[in-house]
Amino acid sequence: MDLTPAELTLLGLLVEAPRHGYELEEVITARGLREWTEIGFSSIYYLLGRLRDRGLIAEAGSDGPARGKARKVFAPTPDGVRACARAAEEAVATLRPVFPPVLVGLANQPVIPPERLRAALARRAEALAAKIAEVRAAARPDAPPFVRVIFDYSLGQLEAEQRWLAAYRGEPDAPRREA
Amino acid sequence: MDLTPAELTLLGLLVEAPRHGYELEEVITARGLREWTEIGFSSIYYLLGRLRDRGLIAEAGSDGPARGKARKVFAPTPDGVRACARAAEEAVATLRPVFPPVLVGLANQPVIPPERLRAALARRAEALAAKIAEVRAAARPDAPPFVRVIFDYSLGQLEAEQRWLAAYRGEPDAPRREA
DNA sequence: ACCTCGTATTCTAGCGCTAGAATAGGCCTG
DNA sequence: CAGGCCTATTCTAGCGCTAGAATACGAGGT
């Protein structure tokens, strides 16, 4: 009954406006969701099929094609809209424990030669700075608040990681005291 | 050729000390890695098989069983140790873009009834506070630095999220200015 | 008329992983 | 020494997902 993040993303896009598969693909790439949601091109029709089988979306007539094969436009059913709201609410409320790969790497720190580790941390610092700049640049001040909050979240997480990394690179071996 | 986080975790545990499948299971639960790594009981032997097929670990004789069926002890091969170091280094260096479910939920914020959204955010705040307390309690000051750094990371991320959440709950609709 | 190009969907094989049951073997107890 | 029990491993079926190829179809050029 629960929706995966990918399913919720797709369903949400359809709640926003009825669309056909190809259009979803376009929207996903246009909004830069490809990187985040990890919904591949092939998955779209697959997920659409699952959502339809569950009765959360339904074919809302076929659109007059610009050119080429007829396209199937999908729209959420009333059930689908409810499910979307419930799943979104659930996603907001639940804190998912994360153990990102970087921590797995750090847990194996003892096997990494020290100078390689230092270099790896430097590479991370660079990537982090670049990412922060990128997110800042992408964050339009005129975006609606519910979009801004997403950027704020990402930025907050990235900056926290940056502070942590700076402290850690500064004194890689010395234990530090609590705040 | 790359190792998944789960594979790296297991391999790392074997680099630490040769072990058999059941023991890995015990270590994983004892260290609380179950929640983080999402390595199910069934996966252990499966992953062990894959690592062996790739020549990264090998059976290092069977241990005298305390009682019951003979157990197969696995130890990393020289290749395995190298792969572990390389993968750990890689994991430390690369920044993986994350788009946690909470953001997917927030992206669908407009379909959530406002009072439900407020309640969901409140639940999240509670869970967050509890988690922070839990991590703080688990962070032993006498732990080796390479373990402490992991707790520091988690704590930094959680606290950043807490600040973000507090700000957001304070003014859920008003746009905020940049730092 | 035919052919090609651009749009859009569907199909197929197969990989990675998981749950859960089945199996195996030695010890201990009566 | 038969039976149960505990430790460990292995097997099996199947799910979810993906890449990539195959298909379908109309418009426009020649």
- Residues with Cβ within 8 Å of B121's Cβ and at least 6 positions away in sequence, in order, are A92, A93, B165, B168, B169, B172
Nucleotides of C under 7 A from a protein CB: 6-11, 16-21, 24-28
Minimum CA–C1' distance nucleotide for A42: D18
Top-confidence residue, A175 or A33 = A33
3-state secondary structure of B144: coil
Among A152, A136, A133, CA closest to A144 = A152
pLDDT band at B66 (very low <50, low <70, confident <90, very high): low
Mutate to test the interface with B, among A153, A155, A168 (most CBs of B within 10 A): A153
Range name among A31-35, A55-59, A107-111, B133-137 with the lowest pLDDT average: A31-35
> Is A115 in CB contact (< 8 Å) with chain B?
no
Measured distance CA(B155)–CA(B168) in Å, rounded: 20
Tell me whether residues A108 and B84 touch, CB distance under 8 A: yes
Q: In chain A, which residues from 56 to 75 place their CB closer than 7 Å to nucleic acid strand C?
A: 65-72
Tell me whether residues B89 and A157 touch, CB distance under 8 A: no
Measured distance CA(A169)–CA(A121) in Å, rounded: 7
Helix (H) or strand (E) holding B53: helix B41-53
pLDDT band at B123 (very low <50, low <70, confident <90, very high): very high
In A, minimum Cα distance to B110 occurs at A146
Minimum CA–C1' distance nucleotide for A45: C9
Task: Say whether pLDDT at B64 is over 70.
Answer: no
Q: Which of A88, A106, A124 sits opposite B108 (nearest CB)?
A: A88
3-state secondary structure of B61: strand
Tell me whether residues A153 and B8 touch, CB distance under 8 A: no
pLDDT band at B31 (very low <50, low <70, confident <90, very high): confident
The pLDDT assigned to B170 comes to 82
Summarize pLDDT for A75-123 with one digit per residue, the tens. Answer: 999 999 999 999 999 999 999 888 899 999 999 999 999 999 999 999 9
As a whole number, mean pLDDT of residues B28-41 equals: 86
Task: Say whether pLDDT at B178 is over 60.
Answer: no
> Is B3 in CB contact (< 8 Å) with chain A?
no
pLDDT band at A64 (very low <50, low <70, confident <90, very high): low
Whether the CB-CB separation of A79 and A14 falls below 8 Å is answered with: no
Size of interface A-B (CB pairs under 8 A): 240
Burial class (CB in 10 A: 0-12, 13-18, 19+), A45: middle
Task: Say whether pLDDT at B179 is over 60.
Answer: no
Range name among A63-72, A100-109, B117-126, B146-155 with the lowest pLDDT average: A63-72
Minimum CA–C1' distance nucleotide for B69: C25
Q: Which of residues 11-70 of B touch A (CB under 8 A)?
A: 12, 15, 35-37
- Chain position carrying tokens 């896009």: A13
As a whole number, mean pLDDT of residues A46-53 equals: 95
pLDDT band at B65 (very low <50, low <70, confident <90, very high): low
CA A150 to chain CA centroid, nearest Å:
10
In percent, the amount of chain A with pLDDT more than 90 equals 69
**Distance, Å, A96 CA → C14 C1':** 31
Q: Tell me the chain A residues in contact with residue B114 when contact means C-beta distances shorter than 8 Å.
A: none
Mean pLDDT of chain B: 89
Q: Three-state SS across chain A?
A: CCCCHHHHHHHHHHHHCCEEHHHHHHHHHHCCHHHHHCCCHHHHHHHHHHHHHCCCEEEEEEECCCCCCCEEEEEECHHHHHHHHHHHHHHHHCCCCCCCHHHHHHHCHHHCCHHHHHHHHHHHHHHHHHHHHHHHHHCCCCCCHHHHHHHHHHHHHHHHHHHHHHHHHHCCCCCCCCC
In percent, the amount of chain B with pLDDT more than 90 equals 69
Identity of the highest mean pLDDT range in A20-24, B19-23, B125-129: B125-129
3-state secondary structure of B75: strand
Residue B4 contacts strand C, CB under 7 A: yes
Tell me the nearest-neighbour CA distance from A5 into chain B, angstroms: 6
